[in-house]
Structure 1
Amino acid sequence: MAKATATPPRVNRTRELAAMTAAARPWTYQVAFWGLAALLFFPPFFRGLFFPPEQELALMGAAVIFWFTWLWKHGWRDYSFLSHPLDYFTLALPLVYIIAAFGAVNYGLAVDEIVKNILYFLAYWVAVQVVEREEDAGRLLHVIYLAAAGVALAGLFTATGLVYIKDGFLNGRIYSTFQYPNALASYLALAGFLGLFFWAHYGSRTVGESITDRVLLKTLPRRLLECRPYGYFYAAANFILLAVLFGTRSRGGLLITGAVFLLYLIGLHWQKRLPVLLHALYVGGLGYTTSHKFIAAAMAKQMGTAWLWILGGLTLVLAGQWVYAFAGKRSLSPWLEDKKRVNAGLASIVIACLIAGTAVLTTHHQVLEKVTSFTYLRNAFERTYFVQDALAMIKDRPVLGWGGGGWEEAYRAYQGYLYNSNEVHSHYFQVAVETGVVGLLVLLGIWASFLWAAHRAYWSAPASSTSRAMSWAVTTGALAVGLHAAVDFDLSLSALTLVLWTLFACARVSGYNRAQVPSNKLQAAKKGGIRPSNPVALAAATAAGAIVFLFAFFLASANSYATQAAGYLQQGNVRQGLAAMQKAAAYNPFNADYHTVLMRIYLSMGKPQQALEEARRSAALSRYSAGRQADLARASLAAGRYQDAVSYALRAVELAPYQIAWYETLAATCAAAGRGELQAGNKDAARRYLEQALKVPEMIQARVAGLGEEEKKLWVDAPMLSVTPGVHLGMGQARYLLGDLPGAEKSLQAAMQDNQLKGEASLWLALVREKQGKTGEAKKLVKEAGQINKNLEAAYERLKAVPTL
C-alpha cells in the first residue's frame, strides 16, 4: 500500500482561505445562495415546472431571493446591476416579451411567458451575484447534479410502481417527473456531463481534502480523512443518470448527446481523455444494457427482476470503480502520464468502436432499413411542417411576433394538415414566432455572449486545472441542451431552462476570472474601497422585487379561485362557483379561460346577455382560438343574434380548418339560426341559413382535396376529415326545416350512429315521422330520446310548434 503523505501546505492555505471567506459571508448571502439552490433543486420534481401555477409560485420565490441578494449587496455597498453583455441580453428577453404582449393574440398566454422569462432572468442574475469562486459554482452544479439523480431515480420508481407519477412511464419509455421523455433526456444529458467532470476531478479526493472546518480536520480519524469514497458515489450516480437517459429512448437526445460527448473529449486535458472515455463506455454500456432489461421486466410487471438488473449493474459499476482505483495506485497513473501511450489507447478504442459499428450495420441490414424508414423518421418529417408553418407566421408578423403563446394560439390557422402540437418543437423558432426577429436576435445574443464568456473562461484557466475542466463541462452541458432545443421544446419546461441559465451565469462569472481569486467584496473591504451607502438603490430593488412578487401573487391567487370555482360547480353550487370565478377573472383579467367559464355559468342560469358579454371578453383576449369563436356563436344564438352566430361559426372553421368539430358547430349553428328566424317569421333569412348548413360537406371535401399525399400520410392525430354524424345532425335539422323529409330522415339516421348524438337525433327523427303521419313511430322515438335525456321530451313539443318551409 502506498505510504500516506501529509496534506501540502499550499492546499492547507487554500482551504483556510476558503473557510475564512465562507465564514465572513453574512446570513443574507446564505439565504440568497441556498434559496437559489432550492430554486434549482425542487422544480424538476414539479412536472418540470411546465405549467403556469408552479411557475408563478417559483417566480414569487425568485422575487424573495432577488431581494435578499440586494440586501446582501447593500451590506457590501455594492450596487452594480448589469456589467456584461450576457447580463443585458438576459434582461432584454423578458423585456421583449413584455413589449410583444401589447400586440399578443392571446393575452393570457403572453402573461405566462412573461412570468417564465422574468423567472429565468432573476435566477441568472442571482447566480451571477452569489457565485464568486470556483467552490460556489461547484456547489450549484452539485445541486443540479443531485436533483437530476433524484429525477432519474423517480423514473425508475414510477416504472416499477413504487411511486405514482402521472405519465411517468408510458409505452416502455421513462418520462419521470418531467412527463416528457425528450426534455428529460436533455436534462439528464446536461447532468451527465457534470457527472463526468465530478468523477474525473473530484472522484480521487480524500475526505480530508473536502473538509474546510479546522475542528473536524483535527478530530476525525486519520484513516477516515484519507478515504476516497467520492469516485464510487459519482460512478453510481452516473450509472443511474445514463441508464434513465437510455430509458427515455429519445432519438434526438441520444444522438445530440453522443455528438457533444465527442466534443467534450476533445476539449479535455489529454491526461483526462482516456479515463473519461473508459468510464463513459463502461458505465454507459452497463447503463444501456441494464436499462433495456429493466424496462422489459417492468413492462412484464416483473418488478423484482427489474430491480435486480439495476442492482446488478450498480454492483458491476462499483466493482469497476474499485478496479480503476486499485490500478491507479499500482500502474495506471504512470501510464497515463505518457502522452503517446494515451493517444495510442484513445485511437485504439475509437477504431474498435468504428469497426464494431460497421459490423453491426453490415450484419444487421434491418437496423439500417429501420432507421431510414418513414415510420422511424415520421416525427422528423412532421417537424419540418411545424417549421414551415412557423416561418409563415413569422413572415406575417416579423418584428415583434404574435406575443407569448402565439404559436399555441394561432398555429391551426396556418397548418397544412391536422397535427396537434402546442409547441413548435424548436425553441428558436418558437421564440421567433412569439417575439419576432427582435426576440430571436436577443436569444442569439444570449448564446453568443455565453459562448464568448465560456471561451474566455476556458482559455484563461491553466490547461490541467479544475477550473478549465469545470468551464468545459458547463459549456458542453449547455450545448447539449441548446442543440436539442433546436429540434424540440425542451426549454418550455422551466426547470430545465433555469438550469441552463444558471450554467450561463457560471460561465459568465468564470469568464471574468473570478473563480481564481477570493471574493472581490472581501478584497474591496481590505483595500477600503467600499462605496458609500445608497439606500435609494436598495429601495428601488425592493420596489422591483415587490412588484414582481405581487404580479405572481395575483396570478397564483386567480388560479386558486378558479380551482375553487371548479370544485363548487362540480358540486352543483352555481352561486359560489360564479363568485369564485369572478374573483379569478378580477385577479387575472388576461386569462380568457376564466371568461369562458363565466359564459357557461351564465348560459346555465338563463342569462344570455351576460353570457354573450363574457364570450366577447374571452374572444378579445384569445383572438385566434376557434373554440372562443364557437363559444361566441353559442352565446349569440342564445341571445337571438343569428347573423352574428353564423359569422362566428364560420370564423371558427377559418381558424382551424382541419378540425372537424368546427364544421359540426357550423352545421348546428346554421340549423339553429334558421330555426330561430323561422320562429321570428323571417323566412328568407331562415332559408339562407338552412341552405348554408347543407353546404358544409362541400367545404369538408374541398379542404381534403387540397391535401397532398405526404400530408395524408402524416395525418394520424384524428380520422381524416369527413361528413361525421355531428355534421349529419345539423344537416338533418336543416332539411327537416326546409321540408325535405326524405333527406332529413337519411341524415338523422346517419347521426344516430353516434351514441352521444342518438338522443337528439331521435328527437328530430320523431319530428320527421310526425310530419310523415307515422305518429306511433314518432312517440316511440320521443320515448327513446327521453330515456337518454329527460329534457328532450319537453323539447319535442316546442319543436313541433316551429314552422317549416
Structure 2
Amino acid sequence: MTNQVYGNMYDESSTKERTPIEQMTNGSTLIWTLVSALIIFLIWAPFQQGLFNGQQAMFERPIYWAVIWAAALMLLCAAAFVKHMRITDRREITAVWVWLLPLTYILSLIPAVSHYMAIDMILIMCANAAFFSIGVFLLQHRAAGRVMRAALLWTTYFVVIYGFINWFGQRLFAGSLVGWFTHIVSNGVYADAVMTDSNGLRLASVFQYANTYAAFLMAMLFAVLFTAIRSVKVYDRLIHGFMLVPIVLSIALTLSRGGLVMLPIVFVLVLLLLKPARQIVWTINLLLSVGLALIVLNPITQLGLSLNQVYNGADAFKGWGLLIGASAVNAALVWLVGRYVQPWLDTKFAGWSARKTASLWLPLGGVLVIAVLAFLLIGTGLRNALPENMRGRVENINFQQHSVLERITFYKDSLKLVADYPVLGGGGGAWAALYEKYQNNPYISNQTHNYFLQYLDETGIVGLLILLSFLVYVFYQYIRSYYRTENEEKRHAHFFYFLIAFSILMHSLLDFNMSYVYISLLVFFTLGGMAAGIQAKPLFGKKKKTEKVEGESSGTGFPTLYAVVGSVVAIVLVVVSSRYLASIKAGEEASALLQGTGQINYEQVREPLDRALDARPTYPSTVSQLSSLLQGVYNSTQDVNYLDEAESRLKAALAKERSSKELINQLASVYALKNDAKSSFMLYADNLDQFAWDMQWYNQVILQASNLAYQAFGQGDFDTQKLYAEQGAAAYAKMQAGVEHLKTLPEGQLQGREFAITPQLTLNAGKSNYLAGKPEEAATLLKSMLTDDYANPDNLEAARWYLIALKKSGQTDQAVYDKVIQADSSAKEQIDTLSSIEF
C-alpha cells in the first residue's frame, strides 16, 4: 500500500520515508545550530552599515564575511533537512528556481563593464539565494519559525533603540555597545547614525541612510502590528505594543518622504488580506500609536536636534522619559484593545467576514481617510503642529520637488543604458560604472533608486524577466494558499514574512534599499518564509497512485542532488570570498606602509601588493596603487621598465574595468612620464563620451588638443595641427551645448556637480579654433573672456591670441592692441609672425 503526503508517494513500510518538515515535532541539533547561527548573523549584520554595497573597497570586507556566513548556513541547512526535502512540489521547487537569479548575473559577466563589481554581485546574489533556500526549509519547521520571528523582532527593537541612543546625543555610549564587532565605529562613534543633509539632522540608525532606515521600519511596523494582535500572552502584547511608538517616531525622524508616501499605500494593500475584524484592530492600534507618537514628536525632535549639537544629561533623560512614557501608555492601550475590543469585533463581524467582498470595504474607506489626512497635513494649518524640519518635508511632497525630479531622471537615464545592453545587461554594478555616460545632468549617484531598474541594467531583459517571474510565482502561490487554507492559525503562520518582503520591495520602487545586503538577505529570507507557506502540491496536477515496484526507492534522488550541489556552491563561495578577504588585507598592509612615517623600500610595499593581485589581478584600486608605486620608483631611478610594467598592468585592468576613471587617469599619468603626449590625449579624447559631465575631463581634452595642435603648427605639420585643433574645438562646442542644456532643467531639479566654462577652457578652445582654421570663431570666443587686468598672464595670453585671430581675419582692435603692447612689448612680433603663417 502507498500513502500520499503532499502530492508525493511513499511506502508505508519503507524506513526511508521522508517526514515533511512541517510535520516534524522536534528539532535536531543541526536545526537549532542553524537557528542560533542565523540569530547571531541578524545581530551582527545590521551594524556593519547594513552591509551596504557601495561599489568601493571600503564596503567589501563585511560583505565577503556575510557571503561566508550565508555559505556556512547553507551547508547547515542542507545537512539538517536533506532527509526531509521534497524539491519537486510547488513549494520547494522555489529553492531550485531562486538559483536562476545568480545564474543571470553569471551570464551577465559576458558583456560586463566592470569585472570586479560583476563578481561581487554574483556573490551577493548567491547569498540571497542561499538565504531564500534556508527560509523555504527552515521556516516550514514550526518551532524554528516561532524562534526566527521572535529573533527578527528583537533584533529590530535593538536597532530602533540604538537609533534613539544616538538621537539623544549618547553617541559614545552607542559606539561602545557595538564598537567591538564593527569597523563602522570611529573615534568611539557609530558614524552617521544621525545623518546630516540639506534638510538638517535625520535619524538613520545603523544604515547611515535615512530612507533605507524608513523602509526597514515600515516593514517591521506592519510585522509588529500583526504580531501584537496575534499574541496570546499578556507580556508579549505589552512588549510589541510598547515598541510601536518608537518605530512610528523613528519613521517620522528619518524625514523620509518616500516612507511617508509608501506607508499608507502598503497599509491599505495589506488590509485587503485581512478579515474586517482584524482590519479594524490593525487600524485602531496604528492610530493609537501614531496619535501618541505625534503628541511627543515635537519635544523629542527638538531635544534630539539640540543634544546632537551639545550633549546635556538632563535633556537626554527628559527625552527618554517622554519616549518611554508614550510607549508605556500605548502598550496598555494595545493590550486593552486586544483584551476587550478584539474579541468583541471577532464576534460582531463573524457573519460579515464570510462574504467574499467583506475585506474590501475598510481598505476603500481607508483610502478616503488617508486622502483627507493628507489634505489636512499638506493643505491646511494642521501641518503647523509638526516640527519645523518635518513640516518642510511634508509641504514639499509633490511631483515638482527636486528628489522626485531627480529620481525620474535616474529612471530615464537607466533606460538609456538598457538600450545599449538589452539582453544580458551590463553586469553587476553596470549603473555605477556607466551612469556618467548616460546621465542627463552632472548628478552623482551610484544607485538608480529603483531596485527593478537597477536589476534590468545589470542583467538585461532576460534577468529581469526571470526575477519578476520568480517573484510573481512566490507571491501568487503564497496568496493562493493563504486564501485556500481553512485553519486560521496555519493561514497566518507565514503572513509575518509576507509583510516584510512586500513592504520593502514596494519601497524599493523608490530607493536603493536592496543595495544594502542585509536588507536584500532579509527580503529573500522572508520570501523563503512565504514560499514555506505555499501548499505542497505536485507541480503538475495530481500524481496517480501506483503499486510499489520491488526495489523502488520511496523517494527521489532530487533532495540528495540538491544538497550536494548546494554544498559545492557553498564551498566555492567560501573559497572565493576568503581569497578576496586575503586580497583586501594585503592591500591594507601596503596602504599602511605607504602612509607610515618610517623608512620603507620598494620590495616591502611590492610584496603585499603582489599578494593582493594574486587573488584579483585587475582590481582597480590595487592596480592603481601599484601603478603609483612604480611611477614613484621610476622618478627615483629613471628606469623605464617600471613605467612599462605600470602601463601593462593598467591596460590589462582596463580590459576588465573599461569605465574606471581611476585607471584611465593613472595610464595618462604613465604616458605623461614617457613624454607620450599623443597617447595621453587619445586616452582622454576617446573616453570623453563616458564622462560627458566632468569638467576636468574636458579641460584635459581641450588643453592637450591645443598644445598638440600648436606643437604641430610649430613643426609645419598642418594636417596634424588641424586634426588635434578640430578635436579640441569640438570638445568645447560639446561642453557649451551641455551648459545650455542645464538651463532647460525643471525649476525644482538640482544640477548636481559644477559644470561651467572657465576662462582657461575658453583660452585653450580659442587657440584650438584658430589652429583649426577658424579665426573668426576664435576671436569671438577669446574676446568674451578678456578683462582689463593685463597683469594676469592668462588674460594677456588670451588677448594676444585674440589679436592674432583678428589680424588673420583682416580685422583689428586698437584699444586691446595698445594695452597688450604696453603690458608686453614683445607681443607685437608674436602677433605679426603667427598671423602671417598660412595653413
TM-score range, shorter chain: 0.7 to 0.9
| TM alignment of 1:8-407, pairs within 5 A | 24-50=26-52, 51-74=59-82, 76=83, 80=87, 84-162=92-170, 163=174, 164-169=189-194, 170=196, 171-202=200-231, 204-205=232-233, 228-301=234-307, 304-305=314-315, 308-323=318-333, 325=335, 333-334=343-344, 337-339=347-349, 358-360=375-377, 363-364=380-381, 371=395, 377-407=401-431
Residue 487 of structure 1: SS of its match in structure 2? coil
Task: State which drifts further: 545-554 or 37-46.
Answer: 37-46
Matched residue, 1:498: 521
One of 529, 539, 545 as aligned partner of 2:570: 545
Distance 1:55 1:292, change over 3 A: farther
Distance 1:556 1:200, change over 3 A: same
Q: Given the alignment of the two structures, is residue 705 of structure 1 paired with residue 740 of structure 2, yes or no?
A: yes
Report the identity percentage. Answer: 17
Amino acid of the structure 1 residue aligned with 2:251: L
669, 690, 694: which one pairs with 1:659?
Answer: 694
1:539 Cα offset (Å): 5.7
CA gap of 1:264–1:345, structure 2 versus 1, over 3 A, is closer
Return the alpha-carbon distance in structure 2 between the equivalents of residues 105 and 645 of structure 1. Answer: 22
Gaps of 5+ in 2: 1-18, 53-58, 175-188, 384-390, 538-552, 635-641, 772-778, 798-819, 827-838
Partner of 1:578: 606
Mean Cα deviation higher: 356-365 or 316-325: 356-365
Give the deviation of 1:400 after TM superposition.
0.3
Once residues 342 and 527 of structure 2 are traced to their aligned partners in structure 1, the CA distance between those partners, rounded to angstroms, is 36
Q: Is the 8 A contact 2:620 2:660 kept in 1?
A: no
State the superposition RMSD in angstroms: 4.3
**Distance in structure 2 (CA, Å) of the matches to 1:330 and 1:480:** 30
User: What CA deviation, in whole Å up to 9, does each residue of 1:265-304 have, x standing for no partner?
Assistant: 3322333222222111111222344344323222122654
CA contact (8 A) 1:417 1:715 kept: no
Q: C-alpha displacement at 1:139, in angstroms?
A: 2.1
The one-letter amino acid paired with 2:213 is L
Q: Distance in 2 between matches of 1:25 and 1:318?
A: 36
Tell me, in whole angstroms, the C-alpha distance in 1 between the residues paired with 2:323 and 2:429: 44
Q: Compared with structure 1, are the counterparts of its residues 79 and 434 closer, same or farther at alpha carbon in structure 2 (3 Å cutoff)? A: same
Matched, 1:426 2:450: yes
Structure 1 residues 500, 641: CA separation in 2 closer, same or farther (over 3 Å shift)?
same
CA distance in 2, matches of 1:333, 1:712: 54
Amino acid at match of 1:35: A
User: 1:636: which partner in 2?
Assistant: 671
Q: Distance in 2 between matches of 1:626 and 1:313?
A: 48
What amino acid maps onto 2:749 in structure 1? L
For residues 106-162 of structure 1, give each alpha carbon's deviation from its aligned partner in whole angstroms, at most 9, with x where no partner exists.
Answer: 111111111110110111112222222343323222222222222222222222332
Q: Provide closer, same or farther for how the CA distance between residues 669 and 368 of structure 1 changes in structure 2, counting only shifts above 3 A.
A: closer
Amino acid at match of 2:36: W
- The TM-score with structure 2 as length reference comes to 0.74
Structure 2 Cα separation of the partners of residues 331 and 450 of structure 1: 34
CA contact (8 A) 1:28 1:72 kept: yes
Q: In structure 1, what is the Cα distance between the partners aligned to 2:560 and 2:110?
A: 34
Letter in 1 for 2:407: R
Shift of 1:472: 3.4
Letter in 1 for 2:191: K
> Could you tell me how far apart the structure 2 residues matched to 1:248 and 1:168 are?
11
How far does residue 674 in structure 1 lie from its aligned partner after superposition? 6.9
- Correspondent of 2:594 among 569, 574, 578: 569
How far has the Cα of 1:530 moved from its partner? 7.3
Does the CA contact (< 8 Å) of 2:217 and 2:247 recur in 1? yes
In the alignment, the residues of structure 2 paired with residue 21 and residue 79 of structure 1 have an alpha-carbon distance, to the nearest angstrom, of 13
Structure 1: 5+ residue runs without aligned partners?
1-16, 206-227, 515-527, 753-767, 775-804
Cα distance between partner residues in 2 of 1:121 and 1:369: 37
- Pair 21,393 (structure 1): closer, same or farther in 2 beyond 3 Å: closer
CA distance in 1, matches of 2:497, 2:128: 17
Deviation at 1:538, TM superposition (A): 6.1
- Alpha carbons of 1:718 and 1:332: their partners in 2 closer, same or farther (altered >3 Å)? closer
SS state at 2:401 partner: helix
What does 1:775-794 correspond to in 2, within 5 Å?
none
C-alpha contact 2:421 2:460 (8 A) present in aligned 1:
yes
Structure 1 residue 577 displacement after superposition:
2.8
Deviations 1:470-528 (A, max 9, x none): 433432332221111112111111111111111111111111369xxxxxxxxxxxxx9
Q: 477, 481, 487: which one pairs with 1:457?
A: 481
Look up the match of 1:557. 582
**Contact 1:410–1:655 (CA under 8 A) maintained in structure 2:** yes
- Whole-Å separation in 2 of the counterparts to 1:92 and 1:19: 24
Residue 630 of structure 2 is aligned to residue 602 of structure 1: yes
Tell me the TM-score normalised to structure 1 length: 0.77
Q: Which amino acid aligns with 2:289?
A: V
Shift of 1:711: 5.7
How far apart, in 2, do the equivalents of 1:534 and 1:22 lie? 17
What is the DSSP-based 3-state SS (H/G/I as helix, E as strand, rest coil) of the residue aligned with 2:510?
Answer: coil
Measured against aligned partners, the alpha-carbon deviations of 1:753-791 in whole angstroms (never above 9, x if no partner) come to xxxxxxxxxxxxxxx99x9699xxxxxxxxxxxxxxxxx
Distance 2:741 2:366 in 1: 54
Alignment check: 8 A CA contact 1:128 1:506 kept: yes
1:650 maps to amino acid: A
Bigger Cα displacement from structure 2, 373-382 vs 327-336? 327-336
Q: Structure 2: how far apart are the matches of 1:72 and 1:476?
A: 27
SS at match of 2:446: coil
Query: Once the two structures are superposed, what CA deviation does each residue of 1:30-89 show, in whole Å capped at 9, x if it has no partner?
Result: 222332333334211111111322111111121122222222345x37585996453343
Would you say the 8 A contact 2:226–2:496 is kept in 1? yes
Task: Identify which range, 77-86 or 60-69, moves more after superposition.
Answer: 77-86
CA contact (8 A) 1:693 1:731 kept: no
Q: Name which of 621, 631, 642 aligns with 1:593.
A: 621
Range that drifts further, 486-495 or 254-263: 254-263
Give the letter for the 1:196 counterpart: L
Larger CA deviation: 341-350 vs 647-656: 341-350
Shift of 1:369: 12
Q: Provide the C-alpha distance between the structure 2 equivalents of 1:693 and 1:497, rounded to a whole number of angstroms.
A: 46
Q: How has the CA–CA distance of structure 1 residues 280 and 129 changed in structure 2, closer, same or farther, with 3 Å as cutoff?
A: same
CA distance 1:663–1:61, change in 2 (3 Å):
same
C-alpha displacement at 1:728, in angstroms?
6.4
- In structure 1, give the amino acid aligned to 2:484: S
